[in-house]
Structure 1
Amino acid sequence: MIKRWIITAAIVILIIYLIPYSLPFLLALLTAIMLENSVKWFMMRFKWPRFRAVLVTFLLYLLFIVLFVWFIVKLVIDQVVTLAQKGPAFANNFYEESLKQFLKESEQYFKSLPIDVFSSFERTLENALQSVTRMLQAIVEWLFGLAAAIPGFLIEFLVYLIAVFLFSLELSRLRIKTERHLRETTKEKLYLITSKLNRAGVGFIKAQVFLSIVTFFMAFIGLSILQVPYAILLSILIVFVDVLPILGTGSVLVPWAVISFFQENQFLGFGLIVLFVIITVVRRILEPKVFSSNMGISPLAALVSLFVGFKLLGFIGFFVGPALVIIYDTLREAGIIKSKWKI
């Protein structure tokens, strides 16, 4: 008995150690499982052999990735090129009309301050400038690191795509081989667990895509009403930071609103604050309901798991929290976890 537990523990430790090196294959296996329904549909609808159904499904999946990446990259490049052409004029306009005027007005006020107070403010300003400089350096280093990592990412992505195709081909055989080592009751529980986790995984992606689309249209409509240039590019940026709980829409809209007030553009500043409030409130109202309906858990459980997961683990907890709730519910329904207790 002890020997079996030691062997099991050793296998679990080995699997945990190998997970970081096996991510492309794990993602490929999950993708193949999610594409399995499409493969079965082609096999039943057109009476195709598995190889042809897998090939068509894989090519459609690859076409979707290519079109999605092409659309995003083209959209971003077009907006960035336009912004780069007009960026220097915008920066000069901001300096002449806002920052220079602000410094000129502040100079009269600072002259009336005691020397100690002025020196303290000067040191604070220097520290702030140094912090901004370090932040910019860190961003530049991160961009260089990102550029250096692109070749490695492309290799891993190629391995992922090949693995998706091969896993799709072998999925039925892998299932048969696995079933040989399972009791009938264990097999039923495993099917229940995998089907629910598969539904939850697809549901999470659908929920996140839906919320991102809603956020994009709210941002785009709001920025268009405010007559902001580059509304599409800025809406994509807002969607990107809104997906990350660490940042949120406030990291874009609030500083922008402050700058607008400095430029004496109260209409734009107030409009950006209102847009920030609307996006935040609508997303927080929709989030629990959308996640619960797509992932099969209650709105309260979705809200609590999202909040507690983020507080405990940060960004990763945003995914881990709901996943743990789903796994617990699935194991309880399968009878693996018993919860019939009383106080």
Structure 2
Amino acid sequence: MVMWKKWLWISIIVLIGLFLVPYSLPLIFAFITAVMLEGLVQWQMTKLRFNRLQSVIIVFMSYVLLISVIGYYLISIIAQQTVALSGKTPNFMKGFYVSVIRPLIRKWEFYSKNLPKDVIVSIEKTLENSINSLDTFLHGVIQNTVNLLTAIPGFLIEFLIYLIALFLISLELPRLKAKVEIHLKEQTKRRVYLVANQLYRAGIGFIKAQIILSLLTFFMAFIGLSILRVPYTALLALLIVIVDILPILGTGSVLVPWAVIAILQNNQFLGIGLIVLFLVITVVRRIIEPKVYSTSLGISPLAALISLYIGFKLLGVVGVILGPALVIVFDTLKRANIIKMKFKI
């Protein structure tokens, strides 16, 4: 009966925790960041003989300064190139109408004279549906932009909460650790430390892998767009990287439609160049991804390749992240002897 009650309470706590996760993301990210920065705090306390408060303040201020500098330069580059790009948007739309839309209208007027009425009605319905789809898409883009702008104040508040929580958690981390250890048996404690240590290393490795792949994509896109003499290369390369990171989307979401528009505008050099760039980025990433993940996450290249492939086939781009993550969690639990695989056939 006692065991039954214990597992009941554990289940209730887990369910409450899962329910609160969406509302506690700033605190969760603050805790993860504090754990990641703990090594620097401990190093200063050991090597430089600082007390914990001094070490936490120095590491915290250095971290805030780093993300502030990176954020400032990113926002400056994006703002400058966005303003310059928006100034040329009307000319681009006018040129697109003159070089693509108007010739299509003339061809339609010429060929429609000799087509049966049923065919004309069918084509007109298709065009109407396409226009409606485009209108819906543009309205969605505008609405998402408005939602993004209105979400900025809320994001700033959550970011402030994240920073405050990061400082306080960093300061209280040893006490939090001690409070958790009180409720753990010695064997459970060793297993928890092993799992936490492995997952911590895997988390750092995953972030490292994503940074390497994002930098690789950025430089390939930047060099490719520079060769194609495309203006605003830094902004567009950054946009490609951001879209590539997002679930479901990929580099093709930017490069392929852009290539189609360029070809319709009779700019075959740019259109074919963008398609080649898309193929190069895709092939290079597919070749390098297993090696990067295996090196950064501590799993074999074969396991990384299989997890990436199966994850992609089952869940698409999201599976590329979840596949290796599940392999790491399984391997970690097996090492901690939580999952036992001792059998023979």
Instruction: Pick one of 203, 206, 211 that aligns with 1:204.
Output: 206
* CA shift for structure 1 position 305: 3.0
Instruction: Pick one of 154, 160, 163 that aligns with 2:162.
Output: 160
Supply the distance in 2 between the matched residues of 1:317 and 1:2 (Cα, whole angstroms). 36
Supply the distance in 2 between the matched residues of 1:97 and 1:281 (Cα, whole angstroms). 33
Q: Trace 1:15-94 onto structure 2 (pairs within 5 A).
A: 15-94=17-96
Name the residue aligned to 2:236.
Answer: 234
Name the residue aligned to 1:335.
Answer: 337
Supply the distance in 1 between the matched residues of 2:108 and 2:229 (Cα, whole angstroms). 30
The one-letter code matched in structure 2 to 1:235 is A
Supply the distance in 2 between the matched residues of 1:129 and 1:53 (Cα, whole angstroms). 60
Name the residue aligned to 2:193.
Answer: 191
More deviation, 172-181/215-224: 172-181
Supply the distance in 1 between the matched residues of 2:207 and 2:322 (Cα, whole angstroms). 14
Q: For the Cα contact (< 8 Å) 2:249–2:317, is it kept in 1?
A: no
Task: Give unmatched runs, 5+ long, in structure 2.
Answer: none
Q: For the Cα contact (< 8 Å) 1:261–1:269, is it kept in 2?
A: yes
Aligned sequence identity (%): 55
Supply the distance in 2 between the matched residues of 1:292 and 1:94 (Cα, whole angstroms). 46
* CA shift for structure 1 position 147: 2.0
The one-letter code matched in structure 1 to 2:278 is F
Supply the distance in 2 between the matched residues of 1:277 and 1:335 (Cα, whole angstroms). 44
Q: Trace 1:149-298 onto structure 2 (pairs within 5 A).
A: 149-298=151-300
Name the residue aligned to 1:129.
Answer: 131
* CA shift for structure 1 position 311: 4.8
Supply the distance in 2 between the matched residues of 1:233 and 1:155 (Cα, whole angstroms). 27
**Deviations 1:170-209, CA, capped at 9 Å, x for gaps:** 1112222322332332222222111111111111111111
* CA shift for structure 1 position 164: 0.7
Q: For the Cα contact (< 8 Å) 2:205–2:297, is it kept in 1?
A: yes
More deviation, 99-108/212-221: 99-108
* CA shift for structure 1 position 336: 1.2
Q: For the Cα contact (< 8 Å) 1:102–1:262, is it kept in 2?
A: no
Supply the distance in 1 between the matched residues of 2:184 and 2:12 (Cα, whole angstroms). 21
* CA shift for structure 1 position 313: 4.8
Q: For the Cα contact (< 8 Å) 1:200–1:326, is it kept in 2?
A: yes
**Deviations 1:53-78, CA, capped at 9 Å, x for gaps:** 11111111111111111111111111
The one-letter code matched in structure 1 to 2:260 is V
More deviation, 21-30/301-310: 301-310
Supply the distance in 2 between the matched residues of 1:239 and 1:272 (Cα, whole angstroms). 15
Task: Give unmatched runs, 5+ long, in structure 1.
Answer: none
Supply the distance in 2 between the matched residues of 1:147 and 1:111 (Cα, whole angstroms). 48
Q: For the Cα contact (< 8 Å) 1:260–1:266, is it kept in 2?
A: yes
The one-letter code matched in structure 2 to 1:261 is I
**Deviations 1:20-71, CA, capped at 9 Å, x for gaps:** 2222111111110000111111122211111111111111111111111111
The one-letter code matched in structure 2 to 1:65 is I
**Structure 2 SS opposite 1:182:** coil
More deviation, 312-321/149-158: 312-321
Q: For the Cα contact (< 8 Å) 1:31–1:164, is it kept in 2?
A: yes
Q: Trace 1:5-20 onto structure 2 (pairs within 5 A).
A: 5-20=7-22
The one-letter code matched in structure 1 to 2:173 is L
Instruction: Kindly tell me the number of residue pairs found equivalent between the two proteins.
Output: 343
The one-letter code matched in structure 2 to 1:201 is G
Shift in CA distance, 314/21, structure 1 to aligned 2, threshold 3 Å: farther
TM, length-normalised to structure 2? 0.94
**Structure 1 SS opposite 2:343:** coil
* CA shift for structure 1 position 310: 4.7
The one-letter code matched in structure 1 to 2:94 is N
Q: For the Cα contact (< 8 Å) 2:248–2:318, is it kept in 1?
A: no
More deviation, 116-125/191-200: 191-200
Supply the distance in 2 between the matched residues of 1:35 and 1:325 (Cα, whole angstroms). 25
**Deviations 1:111-143, CA, capped at 9 Å, x for gaps:** 222111111000000011111111111222222
TM, length-normalised to structure 1? 0.95
